[in-house]
Amino acid sequence: MKPQAQYPGADRAAFVARVSGALGRAGPTSPTEPAPQVEDRVARVTGPEADLGAVFAAQAAAAGMTVHPTNRAGVQREVRAVLERLGVRRVMIGEGLMLEGVAADLSAAGLELVAWRERGFAAMYDADAGVTDVQGAIAETGTLVCCSGPGRARGLSLVAPIHLAVVRRSDIVPDLVDLGVMRASEAALPSSVVLITGPSKTADIEGILITGVHGPREVHVVLVNDA
């Protein structure tokens, strides 16, 4: 960190001391009681016993995403079919196990591949669609979990009017409270983790729902049964 003193504003110790003062003590001391436990009986909506693929598919559809079920062998075919049906010409493709061979296949089918790796966002504005895998999915809410990292740019799921995500059944965790578990299994938290639940939307004008405000107008999920 840069030395804070160069910036305007308060100094850290004084700032925290004021908070301690308001709490009626001299300085920060570790809490005497533990943070509230998140008990399943109180907070869990979806349990591991549920049919996670079915719950996820239903919730994702309810959130406005289109789900395309397939199996392992069918991924390339399904991705191409969806993009062709939507008239996509320029596509950007992320890296991931599920996406191997997808770029070659789409290229062979005559789609233009957008080179986004070096130029980041600047290259993405002209793309018609972004294709990604996911680093998790949540059945309870029909949510995609997309993390940033090498081969996984933030903009792939945001900038183009269409986002297509390939989700394996085994990616799906039951409930939002399982988020903590997911983090524990990662070495370091990625700099960007975004939970995506439906297309970009607004209801700012007279409460009328409109999709595709800033982000994707459509989100398609190719759901791979890898059980």
Look up residue 55 and give its two tokens. Answer: 């719950």
Half-sphere exposure of 217 toward its Cβ, with a 13 Å CA cutoff?
6
SS3 16: helix
Question: Cα(224)–Cα(227) distance, rounded to whole angstroms?
Answer: 9
Question: Shortest distance, CB of residue 40 to other proteins, whole angstroms?
Answer: 11
Question: Cα(80)–Cα(77) distance, rounded to whole angstroms?
Answer: 5
Question: Shortest distance, CB of residue 103 to other proteins, whole angstroms?
Answer: 16
Do 129 and 161 touch, CB atoms closer than 8 A?
Answer: yes
List phi, psi (to 5°) of 146. -115, 120
Q: Which is nearer to other proteins, 76 or 200 (CB)?
A: 200
Q: Which is nearer to other proteins, 78 or 155 (CB)?
A: 155
Q: 69 forms bridges with which residues in the sheet?
A: 223
Considering only residues 18, 72, 77, 89, which one is a binding residue for other proteins as defined by CB under 8 A? 18
Q: Is 198 in the site for other proteins (CB under 8 A)?
A: yes
Number of residues that bind other proteins (CB under 8 A): 89
* Residue type at position 25: R
Q: Which is nearer to other proteins, 72 or 125 (CB)?
A: 125
Q: Is 200 in the site for other proteins (CB under 8 A)?
A: yes
For tokens 């600047």, what's the residue?
122
Considering only residues 158, 166, 222, 223, which one is a binding residue for other proteins as defined by CB under 8 A? 158
The secondary structure of residue 141, as a DSSP letter, is: T
Query: Site mask, other proteins, residues 92-121, x = CB under 8 A?
Result: ------------------------xxx-xx
Considering only residues 54, 104, 109, 122, which one is a binding residue for other proteins as defined by CB under 8 A? 122
Q: Is 61 in the site for other proteins (CB under 8 A)?
A: no
Q: Is 59 in the site for other proteins (CB under 8 A)?
A: yes
Stretch (H or E) spanning 43:
helix 40-43
Q: Is 85 in the site for other proteins (CB under 8 A)?
A: no
Question: Shortest distance, CB of residue 86 to other proteins, whole angstroms?
Answer: 18
Q: Is 129 in the site for other proteins (CB under 8 A)?
A: no
Q: Is 174 in the site for other proteins (CB under 8 A)?
A: no
Q: Which is nearer to other proteins, 53 or 142 (CB)?
A: 142
Question: Cα(147)–Cα(87) distance, rounded to whole angstroms?
Answer: 27
